[in-house]
Amino acid sequence: MTAVLDFDSLTTRAEDGAHRFEAAVDGMTCAACIGEIEQGLADIPGLGHARVNYTNRRLMLEWRDESFDLAQAFERLRRMGYTLHPFELAQSEREEIETARWLLRCLAIAGFAAMNIMLLSVGVWFGVDIEPSTRDLFHGVSALIALPAAAFAGQPFFRSAFAALRAGRLNMDVPISLGVLLALGMSVYETLAHAEHAYFDSATMLLTFLLLGRFLDHAMRRKTRAVAANLAALRAPLACKLSADGAETVVPLARIARGDIVLVRPGERIPVDGVVAAGESQLDESLITGETQRRSVAAGDLVYAGSMNYDGALTIRVEAANGATLLDDIERLLEKATNARSRYVRLADRVSRLYAPMVHLAAFSTALFWLWRGASLHDALITAICVLIITCPCALALAVPAVQVVSSGALFRAGVLLNSADAIERLAEADTIVFDKTGTLTAPEPRVANASEIDASVMDLAARLARASSHPLARAIAQERPKAAALEAHEEHGLGVCATVGGLEARLGSPRFCELEEEAAQVGALDADVSLVAFRHGDARALFQVRQTLRIDAAKAIAALKARGFAIEILSGDRVEAVEKIARALDVATWAGGLKPAEKVARLDALRGQGRKALMVGDGLNDAPALASAHVSMSPIDATQLTQAAADAVFLGERLAPVVTTLDVARKARALMRENLALSVLYNVVAVPLAMAGWLTPLIGAAAMSGSSILVTLNALRAGGGNPASLPSPLPQSGGGLGRGAAGEDLRDVEWPPLHLSPASREREQVSPFVQASGQSASVGAAE
């Protein structure tokens, strides 16, 4: 009995009344399938639109007309040779891993067979005095190797071609399969007929190159599928609901509604958007705001789903729950941007629909022509096989992936990891670079700006005290002495840590805790952009000036990018004042602060409307929609997991030089891709007419095909040449002031250890969210 897919369980209804259906699609083999599916469903009555995400192989249908019949769409896809099944992340990942292993096994077998058969073929090619019996032996051994190897290694193409033919359509795998099978069949015939030439080497070499291209494509695309898994990891699946009598009940999020009261204990992730009704605690909102410092919250403060609760229990009145939280909004923005990106089709994919029928027509016409001219059936088939082999898109298939692999290796050596199959091409097209501030232009953690001015013994003891606390400011001091051992210290909430050392009490914390308020007031009057941490041990006293600092080469990286002709902008969710100081320090005239994720996406959309192609460089969950919406994106390696999945590339280290290097390598790689595509086209323009004229044999065709592939591969190796872009040595990171690499994060209004930032409120009133001129309002501005 045939199982029936339950459409209703996969269909959701939005608040605006639109119906949405999502499911996984099996049977897609190339990007041309996207257009085939979308166009094949477009004429179904009542369907709003169909969208295929080739990256994760998912189909999304949306409609408002109640007359639309989902079963009709399902039947249409079945007739086209595609099958649908519910999308399940874990199952999909297992299938992708198995597919990658299967392709690798096929590639290994095809490569092994091709190398061994080539060794035998060399003896036939150059054996001037080779005996016929020896030649027949070599052909026989080649057949014993090639036939089982091709039967296994050719499965990715044979299965796809058979499914396409059964559905009454053609794809790129049909002529590939036909050429391989004809070459093998003719080779078997030639071997049995004791002929001079067989073409087992052509068939296995053909499979090897094609499988290499397919495996590289699959491996690159698979890296982009982690977004949904990382988003799911940020969600709390359950919530502790409080009833009117105070009873606690753990329920799924689907049963939480606005107005309910939920309890969040220390160490739990907040499951809803809401307002704190009771309790005090510190929240890690780095997944939402991108800020690494914890925020203290109390009754009346707004909190968001995805934040981690650290210190105290919180009672929260729900404002938005399952499907309506800020995290859900970010997920929808991310999904929308990712789906739009999947429609980016390269030149090789756009011509793929015409490739299959043109190759079949050329080969069939060649055979008919030579039969008409009086050639034997054997000679006509040999010529047709030569056309099929020589037109096989090995060079075209390797033209882009080969450059991608070599340039990816060059970028890896420079500390850059690619996360998207076509990232290099889109990086090369970028003309505008948009930076986030916190954690991108600035270092991810605050640093001690006056560390060089502190006595070494004082710094040693302060670092040991700091290791007894998890406070962000304490971590900054502890980083100055990475090998210092922690003391057995007592931490007083809201003040600092203390311990007895040498019979005297040592304290590290707020100026009030260490009785250094007057000294702190004098330093604070001179520099309002530092957080002061006091230290006292007997007569030894010190004030540590902790601040967020620019990355050590930020100014030089920005200058290098400007010199290359890039327009630079800063978009940040942080305070306007802090963003303005960073913009002035880096001489960036176009900037905006206090932006929500949707406002960043809106700015990127505006740039796109102006014909600009923006590279977004950012970290933090709030940057994920902007990273996905931008033409191309990069993220530092210390960004959240979601952002790394959403970004097209991530870079290592504390410098911005990898951004400059990446753009240089990408532009060089784009030029090499174009050269390879031109070489591939030139090869076909020259070789195809010669094959059709009967001047080439399948053996020569295979050699020409392999030669063209080798040529584009050798050309691709140039992408790894040269030295990565380098910047001058950075200035020492010491002292205060923006001119010495410090950034304006206002952390002064804090005690120890609670850290009260002033994160941009989502409700902040803004007068125009973005400007590119000086003398504007307090919430937006431009650097002088």
Catalytic residue numbers read 436
CA-wise closest residue to 109 among 155, 158, 44, 63: 155
Q: Is 587 left (phi over 0), alpha (psi -120 to 50) or beta?
A: left
Which residue blocks in 154-198 are alpha helix, DSSP H? 155-166, 173-192
Report the run of H or E that residue 25 belongs to, with start and end.
strand 19-26
Beta bridge partners of 308: 269, 284
Helices then strands, counting H and E runs in the chain, come out as: 25, 27
d(CA 424, CA 78): 36
Contact 4, 34 (CB under 8 A): no
d(CA 665, CA 573): 31
Which amino acid is residue 84, in one-letter code?
A: L
Task: List, in sequence order, every beta strand (DSSP E) within 652-706.
Answer: none
Tokens representing 16 are 């605006």
In the block, tokens 């027949």 appear at 136
Contact 123, 141 (CB under 8 A): no
Contact 331, 306 (CB under 8 A): no
d(CA 604, CA 58): 26
d(CA 588, CA 519): 35
d(CA 329, CA 15): 14
Contact 544, 477 (CB under 8 A): yes
d(CA 741, CA 73): 59
Which residue blocks in 290-376 are alpha helix, DSSP H? 326-341, 347-350, 352-372
Angle ∠(550,551,552) on CA atoms, nearest 5: 105
Q: Is 652 left (phi over 0), alpha (psi -120 to 50) or beta?
A: beta
Residues 6 or more apart whose CB falls under 8 angstroms from that of 387 comprise: 359, 362, 363, 366, 688, 691, 692, 701
Which amino acid is residue 749, in one-letter code?
A: D
Which amino acid is residue 475, in one-letter code?
A: R
Q: Measured between alpha carbons, how far is residue 436 from residues 307, 522, 555, 593, 617 in Å?
A: 20, 33, 15, 10, 6
In the block, tokens 């016409």 appear at 365
